[in-house]
């Protein structure tokens, strides 16, 4: 399997998952042009994608879904709540490319086994995903207000996890955001802090997680250095020194990760 974060941040998100001959795009929260250019930069032709998986309806995850689906005839996979909520952004799709899934029920796209699971976020029906292929497992969860036991159960045993490290709490509290927005971000249906991300990874380490890619960093309330230091500090407090932590780039491809 290969994981390729193309873009990750509060301004737009999109990643590629590959397993065998199957390639899928997870979220498309930037323009079709930017995502297409990023795909070509890592040797992926958009026509070779088996579909677009959508975590939730917010525009930083759905902006390019419609144009990419129409231009390259790509199936779009989402649950009913997300399809309904994102329709004003995505616009009309070819009926054959509307692929509904049920949260909690796994399905296959080509060689890739996909399990969508519920995540706590203020969207219509937000999900994360686990991807499995030939005994290897990868977990993808961003836009999570907290790390619940059910999410731990889903992520356990993954070799690599893509997980949110959205904000430094003190930067957020002292920053320019309005009070109501700060409270929304800090709530259990908002976004995961650097510290809480680190604590989640400490637990997941015991299940076999050895690679963590930190995603969805806030431009205003976080920095790559702050996220990395806070997360690795939590790991070090627990005596964990062999988990590799990488911070995903906001506006550029982070790298190609093989598991």
Q: How many domains in the chain?
A: 1
Average pLDDT, the chain: 98
Average pLDDT over residues 243-250: 98
State how far the Cα of 210 lies from the Cα of 243, in Å rounded to an integer.
Answer: 5
User: Average of pLDDT values for 32-38?
Assistant: 98
160 backbone dihedrals φ, ψ, rounded to 5°: -130, 140
Which bin fits 167, alpha (ψ -120 to 50), beta or left (φ > 0)? beta
Domain that holds residue 230: 2-258
CA 245 to CA 229: how far, in whole Å? 10
Q: Per-residue confidence at 254, pLDDT binned at 50, 70, 90?
A: very high
Model confidence band, residue 2 (pLDDT cutoffs 50, 70, 90): very high
Task: Residue 72: name the closest of 42, 36, 39, 46 by CA.
Answer: 46
Q: Could you give the percent of the chain with pLDDT greater than 70? A: 100
Answer yes or no: is pLDDT of 94 > 90. yes
Question: Residue 200's pLDDT is what?
Answer: 98
Q: What are phi and psi of 20, to 5 degrees?
A: 60, -125
Region 47-57 average pLDDT: 99
Q: Give the pLDDT confidence of 151-174 residue by residue, as tens digits.
A: 999 999 999 999 999 999 999 999
Strand 127-133 and strand 136-141: the pairing is antiparallel
Rounded to an integer, the average pLDDT of 76-105 is 98
pLDDT of residue 84: 98
Q: Quick one: average pLDDT of 56-85? A: 99
Q: What percent of the chain has pLDDT over 90?
A: 99
Tokens of 14: 């999109």
pLDDT at 10 over 90: no
8 A C-beta contact, residue 163 and residue 192: yes
pLDDT of residue 51: 99
Phi first, then psi: what are they for 229, rounded to 5°? -65, -40
Please give the average per-residue pLDDT across 121-141, as a whole number: 98
Say if CB 138 and CB 115 are below 8 A apart.
no
Q: Are 48 and 68 in contact (CB under 8 A)?
A: no
What does the pLDDT average to over 119-148?
97
pLDDT of residue 11: 87
Q: If you write DSSP's letter for every residue of 159-195 in order, what string do you get?
A: SEEEEE--B-HHHHHHSSS-HHHHHHHHSTTS--BHH
What CATH number is associated with residue 68? Answer: 3.60.15.10
Ramachandran angles phi, psi of 162, nearest 5°: -105, 110
Mean pLDDT along residues 106-132: 98
């Amino acid at each position: 399997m290969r994981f390729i974060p193309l873009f990750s941040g509060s301004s737009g998100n999109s990643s590629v998952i590959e397993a065998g001959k199957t390639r899928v795009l997870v979220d498309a929260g930037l323009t079709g042009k930017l995502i297409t250019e990023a795909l070509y930069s890592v040797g992926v032709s958009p026509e070779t994608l088996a579909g677009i998986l959508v975590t939730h309806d917010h525009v930083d995850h759905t902006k390019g879904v419609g144009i990419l689906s129409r231009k390259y005839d790509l199936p779009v996979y989402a649950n009913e709540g997300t399809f309904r909520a994102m329709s004003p952004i995505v616009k009309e799709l070819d009926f054959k490319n509307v692929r509904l899934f049920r949260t909690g029920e796994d399905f296959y796209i080509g060689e890739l086994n996909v399990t969508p699971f519920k995540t706590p976020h203020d969207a219509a029906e937000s999900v994360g995903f686990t991807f499995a292929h030939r005994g290897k497992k990868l977990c993808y969860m961003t836009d999570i207000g907290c790390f619940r036991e059910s999410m731990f159960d889903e992520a356990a045993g993954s070799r690599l996890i893509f997980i949110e490290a959205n904000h430094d709490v003190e930067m957020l509290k002292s920053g320019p955001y309005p009070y109501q927005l700060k409270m929304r971000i800090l709530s259990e249906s908002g976004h995961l802090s650097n510290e809480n991300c680190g604590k989640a990874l400490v637990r997941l380490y015991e299940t076999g997680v050895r690679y963590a890619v930190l995603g969805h960093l806030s431009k205003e309330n976080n920095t790559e250095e702050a996220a990395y230091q806070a997360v690795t500090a939590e790991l070090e407090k627990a005596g964990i020194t062999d988990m590799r932590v990488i911070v995903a780039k906001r506006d550029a491809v982070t790298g190609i990760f093989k598991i």
